[in-house]
Chain A
Amino acid sequence: MERLAANMVNLEAAQPGAYTGALMNSPEELVARARHGDEEAFRLIFERYSRPVLRFIYDMVGQREQAEDLTQETFVRAYKGLAGFRDEAKLSTWLFAIAKNVARESLRTRPREQRKVEIDDPVVAELKDNHRSPAGALLDKELSDVVQKALGRLDEDKRVVFTLKIFQQRSYEEIVEITGFSLGKVKTDLHRARAEMRRRIGPYLGGEQ
């Protein structure tokens, strides 16, 4: 990242031809270069998209190390699949679709009972007690724990839709493309996921939920 930034700053020197390099950093150009084996181009793609992909996968699987491994797997698959990738303008949508598949495959291999958070988890137990605490007063760490646990209790379809919309700010149309769900299912799952999350986290919002 620093190196990229440094390159950009150097462009200010306005050396003849320097801009050409900058023009080559669009997703389309990066894909074209990476497709021809340009590792630097693929590294730039990785730098640009790895954070959202990592977070998305983490939201899906709930385990840090596994999320990192699956992020690697996502980008390796993307690299191998570059030759067949056609719609360069939708690079991030494509990457998220790969990430979604990778995450779901991983979840399939887990024993069923491990796919959701145990109900006896202390945080969830606390929620069951209808413990109220104003959101403003809740420590971010605690809030994050609560959100993560509640997220983990959504079923996979709802979780993927909820994560893509709420955390990744994807449009419904993009979610349809990433998940392969129908628009109706996306809307329904999102609505239900919101309701479930509200029910589980509501006490922390401090209002009547």
Chain B
Amino acid sequence: MKCMDCLPLLEEFFDGETDEKTGERMRAHLASCADCAEAFDALRAEQEMFLRYDRGLEVTPALWQGVRARIAGEMPEPRPQTFLSKLRERLAAAVAVFSLRPTLAMSLASLLVVGIAAGLLWQAIPKRSVSTSETAAVIPPAPTVAPSLIPPTPVEMSSPVAATTPGNGMVNQAGVANAPGATNNKRMRGVTIPSAQHVEGGVVELDVHAVKDDLNFVVDRSAPDDMAEAVALLDADDEAVARHVERAQVLLRSFKNARPTEGLGDIAYERELSRKLLDENISLQLEADAEGNKKAKQVLSSLEPYLLDISNLRERPSRGEVRSIRERMEKQEIIAALHVYDD
């Protein structure tokens, strides 16, 4: 890549909007071109400066009161619920119940097993043959009645297929239940807020409908998810923490975009900034502790490992060391989580 190819893409690259292949080429070029690297550094300095922009704005309780007064009595017209949305709600409720009450789930599972066994036994017992006329007396004429309304015969009720279907449903529900179940697990580890799976710009999004069968996957994501939600819940007066988080976000993004050359001092800026932020992080954690501010403490604690890792990088870190931190950042979506407080 030449400068004339690199410079027009520099802002997109800085914004994280280039594709992976272009990004790699950009990094390689920036590692070898002082002029382009300088332009990139200027962009970084600008961004950092813009993040210091303090509007002195806070959301006052009066703001909500004003909204509340205006929407009072104005209930939004409910959208007619589709079959799928109803099913989704009921499934979510069922899943929540089972995931939160393992004993109940176990009991139901046991009942189900007993039911299946009874069904199999019933089928195994020789039955008296039923004449067509007798059947007709039980089943109403088919053309005028929907099949689902036809009362099941004892054989249908106890057939293995019918009996095992709910069982399969349970299995499926257990799979679906992983998302809320994971939340449950996380809470058991002392996490106080629901997981956020996706961050949309400046806000946290919680996707409870995401089905993740692999519990480990959910557990791996728990720390940044919880942090994202915690950041979202920081008090309005956590201004110092908010600004700290903003600076940390700049650092992490800068580190992510840093050129992966072997120890050319490329990450000197990030390492220095990380050390400063680490000091600040520790002070803020102490303050949060003293004030009993659990939310701030949680955010700061989640941030600390990244600051430590970057601060402790050797003067000439290997590509592997840098890549390892980057991969962890990407896997745990730490930058996205920090965007929550980027307002």
Query: Chain A: residues with CB nearer than 8 A to chain B?
Result: 1-2, 4-5, 8-9, 11-12, 14, 16-17, 19-20, 22-23, 25-29, 32, 34-37, 39, 42-43, 46-52, 54-56, 58-59, 64, 67-68, 71-72, 75-76, 79-84, 89-93, 96, 135, 140-141, 143-144, 147-148, 165-172, 174, 187, 190-191, 194, 197-198, 201, 204-205, 207
> In the complex, A170→B342 CA distance in Å?
10
Cβ-defined contact, B57 with A14, below 8 A? no
A26-B208, A28-B209, A92-B202 are contacts. A14–B55 as well, Cβ < 8 Å?
no
Cβ-defined contact, A64 with B205, below 8 A? no
A55-B343, A168-B342 are contacts. A22–B54 as well, Cβ < 8 Å?
no
Jot down 14 A-B pairs with beta carbons below 8 A, ordered by A: A9-B192, A20-B93, A23-B183, A26-B206, A35-B78, A52-B201, A54-B59, A71-B59, A72-B66, A79-B76, A80-B76, A143-B52, A172-B17, A194-B46
Question: Which of A52, A59, A135 is packed against the most chain B CB atoms within 10 Å?
Answer: A52
Cβ-defined contact, B67 with A46, below 8 A? yes
> In the complex, A197→B77 CA distance in Å?
44
The 3 closest A-B pairs by CB, nearest first: A52-B343, A26-B206, A37-B75
Shortest B282–chain A CB gap in Å is: 23
The answer, among B194, B198, B232, B249, for a CB contact under 8 Å with A48, is B232
Interface string of B300-332 (1 = CB under 8 A from A): 000000000000000000000000000000000
Beyond A170-B201, A190-B11, 14 extra complex contacts between A and B, CB < 8 Å = A19-B96, A19-B100, A19-B187, A27-B203, A27-B206, A28-B209, A35-B78, A50-B64, A80-B74, A80-B76, A171-B16, A172-B17, A204-B49, A207-B42
Which residues in A have their C-beta under 8 angstroms from that of B339? 169
Question: Which of A4, A8, A171 is packed against the most chain B CB atoms within 10 Å?
Answer: A8
Cβ-defined contact, B183 with A19, below 8 A? yes
Cβ-defined contact, B64 with A49, below 8 A? no
Shortest A198–chain B CB gap in Å is: 7
Q: Closest chain A residue to B85 by CB distance?
A: A32
> In the complex, A80→B79 CA distance in Å?
12
Which residues in B have their C-beta under 8 angstroms from that of A148? 53, 55
> In the complex, A5→B297 CA distance in Å?
13
B15 at interface, CB cutoff 8 A: yes
Query: Chain B: residues with CB nearer than 8 A to chain A?
Result: 11-12, 15-17, 42, 45-47, 49-50, 52-57, 59-60, 63-64, 66-68, 70-71, 74-79, 89, 92-93, 96-97, 99-101, 180, 183-184, 187-188, 190, 192-194, 198, 200-209, 232-233, 235-236, 249, 294-295, 339, 342-343
> In the complex, A46→B63 CA distance in Å?
10
The answer, among B92, B205, B294, B342, for a CB contact under 8 Å with A169, is B342
> In the complex, A83→B45 CA distance in Å?
44
Cβ-defined contact, B79 with A91, below 8 A? no
Cβ-defined contact, A23 with B96, below 8 A? yes
Shortest B281–chain A CB gap in Å is: 20
Question: Which of B60, B71, B89 is packed against the most chain A CB atoms within 10 Å?
Answer: B71
> In the complex, A148→B53 CA distance in Å?
8
Which residues in A have their C-beta under 8 angstroms from that of B202? 52, 92, 168-170
Which residues in A have their C-beta under 8 angstroms from that of B99? 19
Q: Closest chain B residue to A35 by CB distance?
A: B76
A14-B187, A19-B100 are contacts. A89–B205 as well, Cβ < 8 Å?
yes
> In the complex, A166→B201 CA distance in Å?
11
A140-B54, A144-B53 are contacts. A8–B193 as well, Cβ < 8 Å?
yes
Cβ-defined contact, B203 with A48, below 8 A? yes
The answer, among B78, B190, B193, for a CB contact under 8 Å with A22, is B193
A19-B187, A83-B76 are contacts. A144–B63 as well, Cβ < 8 Å?
no
Which residues in A have their C-beta under 8 angstroms from that of B74? 79-80
Cβ-defined contact, A141 with B54, below 8 A? yes
